[in-house]
Amino acid sequence: MSERVLANFYIAIEAVFANKMRSILTALGIIFGVAAVIAMLAIGNGAQQEILEQIKLVGVNNIVIEPIIEQREENLSESTTGKEKKKFSPGLSLKDVNAIAEVVPSIERLSPEIVLETYIIKSGIRRSAKLVGVEPNYFELTSFELAEGKMFNDQQLIKGSPVCIIGKSIQTKFFPTENPIGKSIKCGPNWLTIIGVLKERIISESSIAKLGIRDFNMDVYAPIKTVLIRYENRDLVTKSMMETGNIISRGRMVIITEDNDESSAPINYHQIDKLVIQVAQTDLLNPVAEIISRVLERRHYEVIDYQITIPELLLKQQQRTNQIFNFVLGAIAGISLLVGGIGIMNIMLASVLERIKEIGLRLALGAKKEDIVTQFLFESVLISITGGLIGIILGIALAVLVAKFAEIPTIITFVSILLSFGVAATIGLIFGITPAKRAAEQDPITSLRYE
């Protein structure tokens, strides 16, 4: 049996080489089909990754924690005077940041942030601005880039040095004709040395006015410890708080006034104003947010004086983008290979008509119908596999050329190559069955008389 199959295989090889032009034309459909699939998948995968990376920059992988200044949770059972008493909470602080970093897995970056309303004075010009206490991770999460200068170094971050990085609009307004690097600017009550200038973030004036979007170009960025040491640390009881009689009781979160009465006016007792946590993978957002919620709930003594936000709309958009790309790429691959398969079937059917005498002669010499079927199937599969191999080489070359000359990112995966090759061989087998059966059903006597 094996010798018979092997003999049919040799006959199929001889038939392929005996009709080289026909074989090449038959293989062209598979060649270009496989090449198109590999090239389009590479381009599509590259475009998909780039788009998803852009979505990530917007914050799809970020969990945002913001403090709630006025606490809502109350404990009435402990009240003996009939007045409402609130539970104690230390507020959102850098200790929470460190605890989350130690306990929660799958975190890439953490970026605490403190925002203070202040003013800038330079050469007799005073301008309101925001002083933002940050760490270097902030600039990576927000995609801010330095136009000139350098980032905060470890020593400046640890010691809280009086240094800052300014937005582009501050440079334009206060240093129109000189390089601000190394110069000092008075930010609030303190002088800060400028070590860097950020690239301009384009925001229209109408968006700033109508939508309330913050003008990041007018912000001053300092190390977060600089802000805590030299400006304001809401986690500490200060002398001014003691003098005015407004302190935060450590027994329970209340405000003590000069008359020793509890005031309902909320005071921001949170050390930081915002915490952004970047998760390694999008599908881990909800589990990580759940762990963070439990950590903060325990650290804040079950007082929910914070809110955890997950960008659900961006997450849904990312999932939708993935679905669209998968559908489009699958459709392209299917259509390309289907066209190649139909081409094989058509030319093999034409080949049957051309080789009726050959088929009749083989049947007259003792070949069985199974032999004819096997021969034509071997021919079809050989042409498909050969075309698939050539198509793989051509597809990889096309993807490389597109990446080099069109500057479009391409990603060639082993899965796409294996899939294209496997589908090419399968198509040769499937679309070769009908011509093979048609050939085997020929009547030997009629075939020998066929002109």
pLDDT tens per residue, range 288-321: 888 999 999 999 888 888 888 877 655 566 667 7
Last residue of a domain, one of 271, 286, 310: 310
Q: What is the pLDDT of residue 251?
A: 36
pLDDT at position 447 is: 53
- 146 in helix, strand or coil? strand
Q: How many domains does the chain have?
A: 2
Q: Which amino acid is at 179?
A: N
Q: How many CB atoms lie within 10 A of CB 213?
A: 12
Last residue of a domain, one of 293, 310, 327: 310
pLDDT, greater one: 266 or 399: 399
Tell me how far apart the alpha carbons of residues 49 and 55 are, in angstroms, rounded to a whole number. 10
Same-domain status, 150 and 276: yes
- Average pLDDT value for residue range 55-62: 64
In the predicted model, what is the mean pLDDT of residues 222-247?
A: 74
Residue type, 7: A
46 with 73, same domain: the answer is no
Mean pLDDT confidence for 170-195: 90
Q: Do 201 and 217 share a structural domain?
A: yes
Q: No. of H helices and E strands in the chain?
A: 15, 14
Of the listed ranges 101-110, 238-247, 283-292, the least confidently predicted one is: 238-247
**Whether residue 97 sits in one domain with residue 157:** yes
- pLDDT of amino acid 439: 65
The pLDDT of residue 404: 83
> How much is the average pLDDT of 427-440?
70
Q: How many residues does the chain have?
A: 451
Mean per-residue pLDDT over the chain, rounded: 76
The structure tokens listed for 18 are 């005996």
Picking from 425, 415, 416, 413, the residue whose alpha carbon sits closest to that of residue 388 is 425
Band (pLDDT 50/70/90 cuts) for residue 3 is confident
Q: What is the pLDDT of residue 220?
A: 92
CA-nearest of 412, 420, 414, 419 to 388 is 420
Model pLDDT, residue 35: 83
User: How much of the chain exceeds pLDDT 90, in percent?
Assistant: 15
Query: What is the crossing angle of helices 20-58 and 414-440, to 10°?
Result: 150
Q: Which residue has the higher pLDDT, 127 or 14?
A: 127
pLDDT of residue 449: 57
Backbone angles phi, psi at 309, to 5 degrees: -115, 130
Q: Which backbone phi and psi does 426 adopt, to 5 degrees?
A: -65, -40
Q: What is the mean pLDDT of residues 280-290?
A: 82
Its domain, for residue 134, covers 62-310
| pLDDT above 90 for 202 | no
210-234 per-position pLDDT tens digit? 444 567 888 999 999 999 999 988 8
For residue 163, pLDDT over 90 is answered with yes
Whether residue 352 is predicted with pLDDT greater than 70 in this model: the reply is no
120 with 155, same domain: the answer is: yes
> Within this chain, do residues 233 and 253 fall inside the same structural domain, yes or no?
yes
The residues, ordered by sequence, that sit 6+ positions from 31 with a Cβ below 8 Å of its Cβ are 340, 387, 388, 390, 391, 394
Q: Quick check: 131 pLDDT over 60? A: yes
**Predicted local confidence at residue 211, as pLDDT:** 41
What is the reported pLDDT for 226?
Answer: 93
Residue with the larger pLDDT of the pair 351 and 67:
67
| Boundary residue ending a domain (286, 310, 334) | 310
Q: What is the DSSP string of 242-277?
A: HHHT-EE-SSSS-EE-TTS-B--------S-SEEEE
Q: Are residues 85 and 227 in the same domain?
A: yes
Q: Is the pLDDT of residue 256 over 50?
A: no
Cα separation of 314 and 63, whole Å? 12
For residues 269 and 124, state if they share a domain.
yes
Residues 69 and 50 in one domain: no
Same structural domain, 162 and 243 = yes
Nearest Cα to Cα of residue 36 among 425, 322, 340, 430: 340
Same domain, 50 and 72: no
pLDDT for the residue 54: 60
Query: Among 8-22, 164-178, 196-210, 294-308, where is mean pLDDT lowest?
Result: 196-210
User: Tell me, what's the pLDDT at 255?
Assistant: 41
Do 152 and 243 sit in the same domain of this protein?
Answer: yes
- For the full predicted model, state whether its pTM sits above 0.85: no
- pLDDT score at 257: 43
192 vs 358, residue with greater confidence = 192
- What percentage of the chain's residues is helix, strand, coil (to nearest 5)? 55, 15, 30
